[in-house]
Amino acid sequence: MIGNDRLAVRKTYKLYVNGAFPRSESGRTYEVTDAKGHFLANAAWASRKDARDAVVAARGAFAKWSGATAYNRGQVLYRVAEVMEGRHAQFCEEVAAGEGLSSSKARAAVDAAIDRWVWYAGWTDKLGAVLGGSNPVAGPYFDFSLPEPTGVVAVLAPQQSSLLGLVSVFAPVLATGNTAVVVSSKERPLPAVTLGEVLATSDVPGGVVNLLTGDAEELGPWLAEHADVDAIDLTGAPAGRAMEFEREAAGTIKRVVRAPAGGEPDWAADPGITRMTPFLETKTVWHPMGL
């Protein structure tokens, strides 16, 4: 150190897989810059092997997460919002730098992302009442339909909205009892990296969430065709390749949330429940009356 000048500490962020922070098995990294092209950090460039490890971790965590009570899942997700609030300033700084926003607009985006997380946490124990019910049948039976999680969901996160968009596509996967493999925005990955650190220090079990930094163009087709991925959200699919990814997904009969036409939607708009229903299956139970 000379005078009051400090040597810059250049960060190299890792992946978040199975509750830990491994480097990419490929050893690859790439530079992350702000909206003006200035260096911010290095991020791991996830490979297909990393994605495969993430799917294995998500499958291993599915039984415990989906088997937890809806109330418990809601409490766990609310705890994530609490920890996000504690790192509010860091999220604001990363969103402002990555998206080129003013401090006030970045603060508004972070506030909305935390509020959105709380909103989805509140839905965990209400979906059964809203989407399930008793069915009238012609016979001496009780007939009930109940929503259940699909399984392992791959999410290609939005490329522009690095935090609010990420939370908007990722929180509903967890709220419905699924586990997730998320590929963050390539150009703006730092809020996703920080969210991984939040998840690791909250109550979310390891493997429920797996965050990969890198290129959706490289990982997207492989996740789409993976036989142990049950659904895929193509919101952040590279332009012109979403249809290709859909065809890959059809080979293993996945549920697919299509990439939005005409660019990313208004993430600040009321989301409703349309982001949750694609990741639910309906189980119908028949039970004889009088037994």
On whether residue 7 sits in a domain, the answer given is no
State the pLDDT at residue 1. 46
Q: Is residue 202 part of a domain?
A: yes
Residue 2 maps to a domain: no
Distance CA 84, CA 199 (A): 9
Q: State what percent of residues in the chain have pLDDT above 70.
A: 98
Q: What are phi and psi of 173, to 5 degrees?
A: -65, -45
> Is residue 1 a part of any domain in this protein?
no
**Number of domains forming the structure of the chain:** 1
- Summarize pLDDT for 148-170 with one digit per residue, the tens: 999 999 999 999 999 999 999 99
| Local confidence band at 200 (pLDDT 50, 70, 90 cut-offs) | very high
Domain membership flag for residue 4: no
* Other Cβ atoms closer than 10 A to 79: 17
Q: Please state, in angstroms and rounded to a whole number, the distance separating the CA atoms of residues 268 and 274.
A: 15
Backbone angles phi, psi at 86, to 5 degrees: -70, -20
Is 21 a domain residue?
yes
Give the model's pLDDT for residue 10: 78
Strands (E) in 8-72, as ranges, are 12-13, 29-33, 39-44
- Parent domain of 270: 12-288
Q: Which helix (H) or strand (E) holds 211?
A: strand 209-212
pLDDT in tens, 205-229: 999 999 999 999 999 999 999 999 9
Supply the pLDDT for residue 22.
97
Q: Does residue 77 lie within any of the structural domains?
A: yes
Instruction: Supply the CATH number for residue 226's domain.
Output: 3.40.605.10
Is residue 124 a contact partner of residue 175, using CB atoms and an 8 Å limit? yes
Tens of pLDDT, residues 88-109: 999 999 999 999 999 999 999 9
Distance (Å, whole) CA 16 – CA 20: 6
In a domain, 167, yes or no: yes
Q: What is the pLDDT of residues 28-85, one digit of tens each?
A: 999 999 999 999 999 999 999 999 999 999 999 999 999 999 999 999 999 999 999 9
Q: What is the mean pLDDT of residues 145-149?
A: 89
